[in-house]
Amino acid sequence: MTRPLVAQVDLAALRANVARVRQYAPDASMLAVVKANAYGHGLERVLPALDGADGLALLELDAALRLRACGYARTIVLLEGCFEAREVPAVAASGIEIVVHSRSQIAMLREAKPGPRIGVHVKVNTGMNRLGFAPPAVPAICDELAALPAVEIRTVMTHFASADEDGGIDAPLARFAAACRGLAWPRSLANSAGIVRFAEVGGEWVRPGIMLYGATPFTRRSAASLGVAPVMKLRSRLIGVQTLAAGESVGYGASFTAREPARIGIVACGYADGYPRHAPNGTPVLVCGRRTGTVGRVSMDMLAVDLAGIPDADVDSEVVLWGEGLPIDEVAAAAGTVGYELLCAVAPRVAFDTVAPAAAHA
Ligand SMILES: *Cc1c(COP(=O)(O)O)cnc(C)c1O
């Protein structure tokens, strides 16, 4: 028997989430964000369900080239642009667009050989203070880029530090508006959190990531309340059942001790699969479709769950670590992290399975 841990990817849910994002920003063009192997779902695997998007955004050049190699013909944007000048010819030859966020990247484009123009997205730093040009410098930077024969500016863009918080976008929006004053290029601002409040954020392009995969960018709003459904279901089975006497414990470090006799199940899933090792006792899990919690410390290949109240659970019983019926955001919150991290952490050794690989509809 093969190890029963499987990440099941529901392409119909992904397709529906793309449509849901469209409803939030009906007039904007959409770049579906597929960085980090499509947030852990598998880039090639999810591609057929993303044909409702106008293009894709990611930051790994090798993956972008793979997309072209498998025939993806729409816009592809590298969200951090080129890291080295030798990437510029590959980008130009493949019609891949790039973010430009630094003077050193402008210098790379200045050196570019004559050829097809490279689509460029000029990044403005509106307070995130990671990448981008200071707002007052933006008009001159745009003039400089627009004058380069290798370049065609596509958008002026920014990324919010706190679009998931009330009031978190007022100051950045004002800075962005000041940077763009008098510039005619389309604007690109909204990540998932910005899309949910698109009426305030606006822009001609949007860049949804986490929402497409059916998780929430917010701490206080569930994915279900946003109208998106989980795409990944991480499922496994019980591979062992133990009966503990009062006073006995389970797992490394004996971090759970039974106060009364207890039945616990051992699940084939551990931190080497990407399950968070820091998940405390009581992190939610479904066993036989019923909600229970983890007990004891998560180990490399296994974790334990409480079977109190699930008397029919036994070896081979179905376990859901997250997905439909158990939002990944609840598991993440229990473990002190976010759904983004859990999705991206699903390990290469986990088997994947695709359900509902629905044909593209027109
Ligand atoms: C990752 C990323 C996004 C998508 O963010 P989500 O919160 O996942 O929607 C959008 N824009 C940029 C520049 C990003 O790096």
Interval 18-31: pLDDT, tens: 999 999 999 999 99
- Structure letter (DSSP) for residue 49: G
Please tell me the distance from the alpha carbon of residue 309 to that of residue 255, in angstroms, as a whole number: 22
Per-residue confidence (pLDDT) for residue 164, from 0 to 100: 73
Q: Two tokens at 109? A: 């484009």
* Mean local confidence (pLDDT), 271-284: 97
Per-residue confidence (pLDDT) for residue 1, from 0 to 100: 66
| Reported confidence tier of residue 162, pLDDT bands at 50, 70, 90 | confident
Q: Is 197 helix (H, G, I), strand (E, B) or coil?
A: coil
- Between the ranges 153-157, 161-165, 352-356, where is the mean pLDDT highest? 153-157
User: Is the pLDDT reported for residue 9 higher than 80?
Assistant: yes
* Mean local confidence (pLDDT), 113-122: 93
| Reported confidence tier of residue 185, pLDDT bands at 50, 70, 90 | very high
116: Cβ–Cβ under 8 A, 6 or more apart, which residues? 92, 93, 95
Q: For residues 111 and 362, which has the higher predicted lDDT (pLDDT)? A: 111
Dihedral of alpha carbons 169, 172, 178, 180, sign: negative
| Reported confidence tier of residue 362, pLDDT bands at 50, 70, 90 | very low
H-state helical runs in the chain: 11-24, 35-39, 43-46, 61-69, 88-93, 103-110, 138-146, 170-180, 192-196, 198-201, 223-226, 328-334, 339-345
Looking at every residue in the chain, the average pLDDT score rounds to 95
Catalytic residue (choose from 35, 39, 123, 340): 35
Looking at ligand 1, which residue's alpha carbon is closest to its atom 1? 209
Per-residue confidence (pLDDT) for residue 359, from 0 to 100: 53
Atom from ligand 1 closest to the CA of residue 207: 10
Q: Two tokens at 6? A: 């499987």
What are 187-213's pLDDT values in tens digits? 999 999 999 999 999 999 999 999 999
User: Is the pLDDT reported for residue 361 higher than 70?
Assistant: no
Closest CA to 306 of 241, 359, 245, 248: 241
> Using CB atoms within 10 A of its CB, is residue 220 exposed (0-12), middle (13-18) or buried (19+)?
exposed
Looking at ligand 1, which residue's alpha carbon is closest to its atom 10? 191
What are 253-263's pLDDT values in tens digits? 888 899 999 99
What are 221-248's pLDDT values in tens digits? 999 999 999 999 999 999 999 999 999 9
Mutation test residue for ligand 1: of 33, 101, 187, 210, the one with most atoms within 8 Å of CB: 33
User: Is the pLDDT reported for residue 95 higher than 80?
Assistant: yes
User: Is the pLDDT reported for residue 283 higher than 80?
Assistant: yes
Q: What percent of the chain has pLDDT over 90?
A: 89
| Reported confidence tier of residue 161, pLDDT bands at 50, 70, 90 | confident
| DSSP calls for 122-186 | EEE-SS--SSSB-GGGHHHHHHHHHTSTTEEEEEEEE--S-TTSTTTTHHHHHHHHHHHTT--S-
What are 60-70's pLDDT values in tens digits? 999 999 999 99
What are 31-69's pLDDT values in tens digits? 999 999 999 999 999 999 999 999 999 999 999 999 999
Residue 260 CA to ligand 1 center (angstroms) comes to: 47
* Mean local confidence (pLDDT), 286-308: 97
| Reported confidence tier of residue 293, pLDDT bands at 50, 70, 90 | very high
Per-residue confidence (pLDDT) for residue 216, from 0 to 100: 97
**Catalytic residue check, 271:** no
Do 196 and 182 meet the contact criterion of CB atoms below 8 Å apart? no
| Reported confidence tier of residue 357, pLDDT bands at 50, 70, 90 | low
Ligand 1, residues at Cβ distance < 6 Å: 33, 35, 79, 159, 191-192, 207-211, 217
**Catalytic residue check, 275:** no
